[in-house]
């Protein structure tokens, strides 16, 4: 095959391999066909034009467009009547992709017999490339190095120890290491020093909290119902369950099964029942006047969508209104999945505040339940009471309840809904629960309910669940997944950069009996992860997103970790784990200004809990979290773009939490036995950034300190004002002007790029 001309529109933007490889149908051709052609020539029969479909091998072959010159003519013609995609279709086919298609046609339009999209073929454990150097730490590195060699790149050296412990401590616990932890690691010369750190972090209760966050965002966890008046609900008991399950390292298959079907297990109990709250985290409409039947459909569809994104990496929602435009998921497939979730004993309209049935009462002793209390409870059925003239509301669950799943005795009938509308069922065929045929077979011994669905998801032959899950773990540590589109493994998703590594990790995950901690350990102990994140100039142009991993990850902290780090390093953090959500500082009138609810801020220690416990009002989420790109918690989100805005600078400079934390850390610095300003600042610097400042850095900070000290000595009233920020009382034994000056310098350190970054 002749080499393709490489059209480099812009060397900065496209990562291009050095040498063009021969065209591969699944990797090179189908993504183009899908993106540019499937809208009219794809799986959706209603949208199909000219009876031509290019998603199905035999139909496409039979049409003859590949061999009779028609497709070639349509690709190369400049006649708007002829040219494909039509200029008025808003489909864009880049010159580069067009020439790829032309090239493919010229070379015989090879379309393999087994043309299944890669992600629908169950992963098989690939052969591990032979280790070639001392660099490789584990199997991951063998795959990474093979690709780097192919690209004629070399890996980077290992990050220095201070950087490494900071990186891994953030990734596994969401907090930085303490000075003692950093120094102990630096001084530990044993070859197992790093492994010991990783083991310590995996055993820390902070691990479960931090790992829960991605799950909370994806499962749209919140403290309110999310519509209109945004009534409150009580789901923190489920969050407690989640943190504990992660800390206990519950095997992932069990973890998922309990959440999907903890009420249907033979060994079900109160805890497995609480786990099903996962599928009740969706929004519930309590707006007066809503039509109940309409909203039950929304809740069930939301469960299907969430399952699709989190476990299958598929955009199932596309099939809610019509056959999927790109993936072989028919509209009926959607409603067959829908049927699994359509039997919950729930109400269409939510109550005015409180949990919506089904819910169970949580014993006071939670989470330390007696044997009796730990038994499964049958929830009270829905009891509708009509209020106003005709608003049908169910009974409301009190603060000591938690929402769960519970099956109706008599299942609801499921039909395909035309255009996805609740009032347009296609009554010609009643649909039974079933999974899409493209995603593997259904075993006869699986029950046709959510328990069976969970068994199907966690089956070792399932093409997607393990891949999608390890990919999100990779995303957690490296910033981007091996499949960048971690929410979409379908035909329109991005191909994996390292397909064999992805499959190896997926199969290894299963082989390790779905052991999450073991997988995290595997990743963070790899040489790939441990590389320095310094960007070599040639890599900056070649691979700005670091997809090839010729260096370590450098990424901004999550919004939660940013606030938690300020609290932790200053000494303000209240480390309590679990319990109801808390209400830390918010701007004045945060709720009142646009809603009919008022925010009542907590006092004392509850102001300083980790950010994952901050009360999440869905329609007005905590602004500091949102400014740093948290997910809104309205629908399932597994990936957010991190962008940099001036609002972030304003938060770090001026927000009460960060100003108070700077002042509190200043108090601690002034109480140290050391008294020389530069030594105090050295200590502060190390506390926040896990390393010693350079001489230059220290000089800048000391000069600032002297200047501010001079300012505040002249204007002691300003010093007092600054110290008044926040509820925490100021230590009156310390000099106000000195304290204020230190607080400003510490604020500078909090604002450094490095303070909110994992190098």
- How far is it, in rounded angstroms, from Cα 342 to Cα 449? 10
Query: For another protein, which is the closer residue by CB, 59 or 647?
Result: 647
Q: Which of 545, 605, 674, 692 binds another protein (CB under 8 A)?
A: 545
Mask: binding to another protein, 223-242, rule CB under 8 A, as x and -? ---xxxxx------------
Query: For another protein, which is the closer residue by CB, 438 or 637?
Result: 637
Q: Which of residues 237-276 bind another protein (CB under 8 A)?
A: none
- To which residue do tokens 């959440």 refer? 259
Query: For another protein, which is the closer residue by CB, 14 or 195?
Result: 14
- If one asks whether residue 70 binds another protein (CB under 8 A), the answer comes out as no
Q: Which of 77, 424, 645, 706 binds another protein (CB under 8 A)?
A: 645
Helix then strand then coil, % of the chain, to nearest 5 = 45, 5, 50
- If one asks whether residue 485 binds another protein (CB under 8 A), the answer comes out as yes
- If one asks whether residue 287 binds another protein (CB under 8 A), the answer comes out as yes
- How far is it, in rounded angstroms, from Cα 430 to Cα 218? 31
According to DSSP, the residues that pair with 401 across neighbouring strands are 361
Tokens representing residue 657 in the block? 């939490």
Query: For another protein, which is the closer residue by CB, 374 or 534?
Result: 534
Q: Give the shortest CB-523-to-another protein separation in angstroms.
A: 22
Count of H-run helices and E-run strands, the chain: 28, 8
Q: Give the shortest CB-263-to-another protein separation in angstroms.
A: 27
Number of residues that bind another protein (CB under 8 A): 110
Q: Which of 352, 512, 533, 735 binds another protein (CB under 8 A)?
A: 533
Q: Which of 148, 264, 274, 491 binds another protein (CB under 8 A)?
A: 491
Residues 6 or more apart from 571 whose CB is under 8 A from it? Answer: 664, 665, 668
Q: Which of residues 132-191 bind another protein (CB under 8 A)?
A: none
Q: Give the shortest CB-5-to-another protein separation in angstroms.
A: 20
Q: Which of 65, 310, 473, 722 binds another protein (CB under 8 A)?
A: 722
Q: Which of 142, 659, 688, 709 binds another protein (CB under 8 A)?
A: 659
Instruction: Give alpha helix (H) positions in 77-121.
Output: 95-106
Nearest to 535 by CA among 522, 552, 523: 552
- If one asks whether residue 339 binds another protein (CB under 8 A), the answer comes out as no
DSSP per residue, 403-471: E---B-SSPPP--EEGGG-TT-EETT-PPPP---GGG----TTS-SSHHHHHHHHT-TT-SSHHHHHHH
Mask: binding to another protein, 359-398, rule CB under 8 A, as x and -? ---------------------------x-xxxxx------
Classify 388 in phi/psi space as left (phi over 0), alpha (psi -120 to 50) or beta. left
Q: What's the half-sphere exposure (Cβ side, CA atoms, 13 Å) at 666?
A: 31
The region of 54-62, 93-101, 192-200, 648-656 touching another protein under the rule CB under 8 A is 648-656
| Length in residues, the chain | 759
End-to-end CA distance of the chain, in Å? 43
Query: For another protein, which is the closer residue by CB, 22 or 544?
Result: 544
Query: For another protein, which is the closer residue by CB, 398 or 594?
Result: 594
Query: For another protein, which is the closer residue by CB, 190 or 695?
Result: 695
Residues 6 or more apart from 676 whose CB is under 8 A from it? Answer: none
- If one asks whether residue 97 binds another protein (CB under 8 A), the answer comes out as no
Please compute Rg for the chain using Cα positions: 28
- If one asks whether residue 338 binds another protein (CB under 8 A), the answer comes out as no
Q: Which of residues 404-443 bind another protein (CB under 8 A)?
A: 423
Contact between 121 and 127 under an 8 Å Cβ cutoff? The reply is no
- Distances in Å between the Cα of 234 and the Cα atoms of 224, 255, 346, 433, 459 are 8, 21, 16, 30, 33
Q: Which of residues 296-325 bind another protein (CB under 8 A)?
A: 315, 318, 325
- If one asks whether residue 17 binds another protein (CB under 8 A), the answer comes out as no
Query: For another protein, which is the closer residue by CB, 222 or 510?
Result: 222
Q: Which of residues 615-644 bind another protein (CB under 8 A)?
A: 619-621, 623, 626-627, 629, 632, 634-635, 637, 640-644
DSSP per residue, 290-316: --HHHHHHHHHHHHHHHHIIIII---G
The region of 18-26, 252-260, 528-536, 676-684 touching another protein under the rule CB under 8 A is 528-536
- If one asks whether residue 73 binds another protein (CB under 8 A), the answer comes out as no
- If one asks whether residue 556 binds another protein (CB under 8 A), the answer comes out as yes
- To which residue do tokens 């600078």 refer? 649
């Amino acid at each position: 095959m002749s080499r393709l001309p490489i059209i480099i529109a812009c060397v900065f933007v496209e990562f291009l391999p050095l040498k063009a490889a021969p065209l591969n149908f699944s990797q090179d051709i189908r993504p183009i066909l899908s993106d540019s052609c499937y809208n009219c020539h794809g799986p959706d029969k209603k949208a199909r034009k000219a009876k031509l479909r290019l998603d199905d091998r035999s139909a496409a072959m039979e049409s003859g467009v590949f061999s009779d010159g028609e497709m070639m003519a349509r690709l190369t013609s400049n006649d708007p009547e002829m040219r494909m995609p039509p200029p008025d279709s808003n489909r864009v086919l880049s010159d580069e992709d067009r020439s790829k298609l032309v090239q493919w046609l010229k070379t015989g339009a090879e379309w393999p017999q087994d043309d299944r999209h890669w992600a629908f073929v169950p992963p098989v454990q690939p052969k591990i490339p032979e280790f070639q150097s001392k660099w490789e730490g584990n199997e991951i590195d063998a795959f990474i190095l093979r690709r780097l060699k192919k690209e004629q790149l070399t890996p980077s050296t290992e990050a220095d120890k201070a950087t490494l412990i900071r990186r891994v401590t953030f990734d596994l616990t969401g907090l930085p290491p303490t000075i003692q932890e950093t120094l102990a690691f630096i001084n530990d010369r044993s070859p197992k020093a790093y492994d010991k750190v990783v083991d310590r972090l995996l055993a820390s209760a902070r691990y479960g909290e931090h790992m829960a966050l991605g799950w909370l965002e994806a499962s749209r966890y919140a403290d309110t119902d999310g519509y209109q008046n945004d009534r409150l609900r009580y789901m923190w008991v489920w969050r407690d369950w989640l943190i504990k399950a992660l800390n206990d390292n519950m095997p992932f298959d069990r973890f998922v099964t309990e959440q999907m079907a903890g009420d249907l297990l033979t060994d079900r109990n109160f805890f497995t029942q609480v786990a099903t709250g996962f599928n009740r985290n969706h929004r519930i409409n309590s707006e007066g006047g809503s039509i109940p039947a309409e909203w039950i459909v929304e809740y069930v569809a939301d469960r299907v969508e969430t399952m699709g994104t989190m476990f299958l990496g598929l955009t199932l929602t596309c099939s809610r209104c019509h056959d999927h435009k790109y993936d072989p998921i028919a509209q009926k497939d959607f409603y067959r999945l829908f049927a699994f979730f359509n039997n919950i004993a729930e109400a269409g309209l939510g109550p005015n505040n409180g949990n919506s049935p089904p819910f169970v009462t949580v014993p006071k002793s939670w989470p330390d339940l007696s044997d009796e209390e730990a038994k499964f409870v049958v929830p009270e059925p829905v009891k509708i009471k009509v209020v106003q003239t005709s608003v049908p509301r169910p009974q409301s669950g009190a603060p000591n309840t938690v929402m769960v799943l519970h099956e109706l005795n008599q299942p609801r009938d499921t039909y395909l809904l035309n255009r996805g509308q609740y009032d347009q069922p296609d009554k010609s065929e009643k649909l039974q629960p079933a999974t899409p045929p493209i995603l593997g077979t259904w075993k006869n011994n699986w029950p046709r309910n959510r328990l069976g669905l969970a068994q199907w998801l966690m089956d070792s032959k399932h093409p997607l669940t393990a891949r999608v899950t390890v990919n999100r773990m990779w995303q957690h540590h490296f910033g981007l997944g091996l499949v960048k589109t971690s929410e979409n493994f379908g035909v329109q998703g991005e191909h994996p950069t390292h397909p064999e590594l992805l499959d190896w990790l997926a199969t290894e995950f299963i082989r390790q009996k779905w052991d999450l901690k073991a997988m995290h350990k595997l990743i963070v102990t790899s040489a790939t992860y441990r590389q320095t994140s310094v960007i070599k100039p040639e890599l900056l142009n070649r691979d700005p997103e670091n997809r090839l991993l010729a260096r370590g990850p450098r990424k901004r902290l999550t919004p939660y970790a940013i606030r938690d780090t300020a609290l932790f390093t200053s000494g303000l953090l209240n480390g309590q784990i679990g319990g109801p959500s808390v209400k830390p500082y918010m701007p004045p009138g945060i709720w009142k200004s646009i809603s009919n609810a008022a925010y009542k801020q907590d006092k004392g220690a509850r102001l300083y809990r980790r950010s994952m416990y901050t009360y999440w009002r869905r329609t007005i989420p905590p602004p500091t979290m949102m400014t740093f790109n948290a997910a809104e918690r309205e629908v399932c989100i597994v990936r957010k773009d991190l962008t940099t805005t001036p609002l972030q600078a304003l938060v770090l400079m001026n927000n009460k939490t960060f100003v108070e934390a700077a002042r509190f850390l200043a108090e601690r610095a002034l109480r140290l036995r050391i008294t020389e300003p530069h030594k105090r600042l050295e200590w502060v610097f190390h506390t926040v950034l896990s390393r010693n400042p350079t001489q230059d850095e220290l000089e800048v900070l000391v000069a600032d300190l002297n200047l501010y000290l001079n300012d505040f000595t002249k204007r002691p009233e300003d010093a007092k004002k600054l110290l008044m920020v926040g509820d925490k009382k100021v230590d009156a034994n310390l000099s106000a002007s000195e304290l204020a000056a230190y607080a400003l310098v510490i604020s500078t350190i909090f604002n450094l790029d490095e303070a909110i970054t994992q190098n």
